[in-house]
């Protein structure tokens, strides 16, 4: 399972996190060299995943549609929904084995996981935010 790690400040001490490829699995698509896995990065990514501040009104974290108890898809609804009582046109894709994926989103329109979050984050019917505003809120 991939983690949503952010670039670490080289002044901070970090704890490397091991990712073992299970037997029979191919090489990952994601290259960790530019963003090595660390415990701190993993925990930060998980914290942000559950943080509603990434959305315009504070109600829509990544986890609001990518629900852990539903393989990170949206449970008990056919269409996922976001800001201002708006439906999206699909259910949120379940999240697993992403480190082996070459493409993301239902249409495969995103080819790198590090930029994928920008799509729901800026969509008016999802999280309805702007990345610079999110960074200001998190500071």
Contacts with another protein by CB under 8 A lie at 52, 59, 61, 63-64, 67, 75-76, 79, 81, 85-87, 89
In this structure, the number of other CB atoms found within 10 A of the CB of residue 88 comes to 16
Smallest separation (angstroms) from another protein to the CB of 64: 6
Which residues are CB-neighbours of 29 under 8 A, at least 6 positions away?
A: 99, 100, 101, 102
Smallest separation (angstroms) from another protein to the CB of 129: 16
Would you say 17 or 70 has its CB closer to another protein?
Answer: 70
Would you say 84 or 111 has its CB closer to another protein?
Answer: 84
For the chain, report the end-to-end CA distance as a whole number of angstroms. Answer: 28
For 66, half-sphere exposure in the C-beta direction (CA atoms, 13 angstrom radius) is 18
* Alpha-carbon Rg for the chain in angstroms: 16
* DSSP type of residue 48: H
Would you say 33 or 76 has its CB closer to another protein?
Answer: 76
Smallest separation (angstroms) from another protein to the CB of 128: 12
Taking the mean position of all CA atoms in its chain, how far away is CA 63? 9
Would you say 16 or 58 has its CB closer to another protein?
Answer: 58
In this structure, the number of other CB atoms found within 10 A of the CB of residue 136 comes to 9
Smallest separation (angstroms) from another protein to the CB of 45: 18
Would you say 4 or 65 has its CB closer to another protein?
Answer: 65
């Amino acid at each position: 399972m991939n983690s949503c790690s952010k670039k670490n400040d080289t002044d901070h001490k970090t704890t490397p996190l091991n990712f073992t490829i299970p037997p029979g699995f191919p090489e990952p698509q994601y290259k960790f060299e530019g963003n090595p896995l660390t415990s701190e990065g993993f925990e930060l990514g998980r914290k942000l995943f559950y943080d509603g501040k990434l959305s315009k009104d504070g109600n829509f974290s990544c986890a609001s549609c990518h629900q852990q108890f539903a393989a990170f898809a949206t449970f008990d609804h056919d269409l996922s929904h976001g800001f201002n009582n708006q439906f999206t046109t699909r259910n949120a894709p379940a999240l697993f084995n992403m480190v082996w994926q070459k493409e993301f989103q239902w249409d495969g329109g995103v080819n790198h996981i590090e930029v994928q979050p920008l799509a729901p984050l800026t969509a008016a019917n999802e999280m309805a935010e702007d990345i610079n505003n999110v960074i200001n809120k998190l500071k």
